[in-house]
Amino acid sequence: MSMTERAKAKRVIAAVIKQAGGTFTGKTRLFKAFYIAHLLYAEQQRGYLTNWPIVRMPHGPGIDGGDELIAELEWCGIVELHKVPEGPWSTTRYRLTGDERGSEKLSAAETRAIKQAVEFVRKKTASELSELTHEHSRSWIEARDGQPLDIYIDMIPDDEFERREWEIDTVHRELLAAWK
Concatenated DSSP letters for 35-80? HHHHHHHHHHHSS-S----EEEETTEEEETTHHHHHHHHHHTTSEE
Asked if 71 and 64 touch (Cβ cutoff 8 Å), the reply is: no
Reported confidence tier of residue 87, pLDDT bands at 50, 70, 90: confident
Sequence spans of domains, the chain: 3-178
98-102, 114-118, 130-134, range with the lowest pLDDT? 98-102
Model confidence pTM above 0.85: yes
pLDDT tens digits, one per residue of 36-82: 999 999 999 989 999 999 999 999 999 999 999 999 999 999 999 99
